[in-house]
Amino acid sequence: MISNSLSARFLWLVVIFVMLAEVLIFVPSVARFREEYLLARLERAQIASLALLASDGSIAGELAGELLENAGVYNVVLRRDAVRELILSSPLPGQIDATYDLRGVTSLELMRDALSEMLRNEPRIIRVIGDPVRQGGLLIEITLDTEILLAELWDYGRRILLLSLVIFGFTALLLYLSIRAFVVSPMQRVIRSMSDYAQSPEEVSRIITPQSRIREIREAEEALHQMQNDLTGLLRQKDRLAQLGGSVARISHDLRNMLTTASMLADRMEMSKDPSVKRAAPKLVNSLSRAINLCESTLAFGKAEEPPPKLGQHRLMTLIEDVIESEKLAVSEKAEITFLTDLPADLKVRADGEQLFRVLHNLVRNARQAIEATGKPGVIEILAKRAVSEGKQGVAIRIGDTGPGLPPKAREHLFEAFQGGARKGGIGLGLAIAAELMRGHGGRLELIRSDAEGTEFRIWLPSEI
């Protein structure tokens, strides 16, 4: 509705402010007009009395009455040399209702008397006292009827009101047109751009181009332009990631089949009589089983259906030793990496053993690869203890390393899938899966620190879910 539009509301503000200005202008104006009217009557009365005094009293009768009529007064009293003298007089039609002394009167008193006169709005007889002009005496006092004064006051007020309305109408029209041109129209353009962009956010051509010369609106257009650019980029990225996710799911499906075949062959290797083969075969079978589980988990992640954990009591030391033994085999010959553990030997966790192994293995593998990338010796430390978090009993596991730390961009989206991995070349799936697995346990995976001295993650698992 037009009454709810920005232009209409500005118009109403103009009405209110103009009416307020009208009051602030009207009252002092009528007060000034009344003062000047009374001062003019005093001056005319003084001239009439001086004319009578100059004639040595020869002016009398009808001529004296004519002087009073021209002055618009009934009586004139002039005080000279401390002598108060009635110079001109005529019969009063009634009693004197009020006396006003214009000598040293304040603006507030003038406004009060003018408003009182207009609100009373009935003729009356008043006495006015003032100073004679050009030092024509010490004091002059007149008596007059306010009928003419009232008529002229109201006529002056109407003219002031009419002028204010003309100014108001012209100002309101200019303001309305200005608001439409400089504010409403640019805002409507922004709104149209937003609606048009919402219909097809993937099209770059629908992104707004900042054009306004008004600083605030241009800043809004630039912010909208940036937001639309970012959103379009994110939508394209999500589309590419969705396609990539489908490809990864298909690759994982085929890879799972290949690994299953390899696992069957590894089972046969256990029957070999070669002692070294017998020792390596179980580890190979375990590695292949975990690879198959990883493929299946990747497929589940692509469907947003990570399988629920199969909870049980597991000895944490055993899981950590398996992880460390697996990673020691993967350490390159040139790398010098020390693995340290600090946890109670009998500490058990309530978790899905396979899923917790995957999480620990992912964190330790990332730490190993980060240290190897530096070409310097390093330490990977795993600590665990019973802890209380948010009023719940549980187990806290810390995995820290002395690597170079994570880059700032990686820390921003560390636990988001396909947003960049914790290491160079990573696709960012491992930590996303790890965080999701821990949430499924009722726990959490969080980054404690990552700086030039290394990186530390913390896993917290509740004792009961």
Q: What is the pLDDT of residues 242-262, one digit of tens each?
A: 666 666 665 665 565 556 656
Closest CA to 38 of 123, 102, 118, 117: 102
What local confidence, expressed as pLDDT, does residue 348 receive?
A: 93
Is a pLDDT exceeding 70 seen at residue 160? yes
For the chain, the domains span: 2-171, 307-462
C-alpha Rg value of the chain to the nearest Å: 49
Candidate from 94-98, 274-278, 442-446 with smallest mean pLDDT: 274-278
Using an 8 Å Cβ cutoff, are 243 and 272 in contact? no
pLDDT in tens, 79-109: 877 677 777 788 888 898 999 998 888 989 9
Q: Rounded to whole angstroms, what are the CA distances from 400 to 408, 432, 460? A: 18, 18, 15
What local confidence, expressed as pLDDT, does residue 57 receive?
A: 57
Which helix (H) or strand (E) segment holds residue 313: the answer is strand 312-315
* Stated pTM of the model: 0.42
Q: How far apart are CA 219 and CA 212, in angstroms?
A: 9
Q: Rounded to whole angstroms, what are the CA distances from 366 to 277, 347, 399, 456? A: 29, 25, 10, 11
* pLDDT classification of 1: cutoffs 50, 70, 90: very low
Cβ neighbors of 308 (< 8 A, separation 6 or more) are: 440
Q: Which long-range contacts (CB under 8 A, 24 or more apart) does 409-417 make?
A: 411/447, 411/450, 414/447, 415/445, 417/241, 417/301
Cβ neighbors of 339 (< 8 A, separation 6 or more) are: 324, 327, 328, 379, 380, 381, 382
Which superfamily, per CATH, for 307-462? Histidine kinase-like ATPase, C-terminal domain (3.30.565.10)
pLDDT in tens, 44-74: 888 887 777 766 655 556 677 777 888 888 8
Is a pLDDT exceeding 80 seen at residue 415? no
Residue-averaged pLDDT of the chain = 80
Strands 337-342 and 378-389: parallel
* pLDDT classification of 426: cutoffs 50, 70, 90: very low
Is a pLDDT exceeding 60 seen at residue 230? yes
In order, the DSSP letters of 6-23 are HHHHHHHHHHHHHHHHHH
Q: How far apart are CA 244 and CA 403, in angstroms?
A: 30
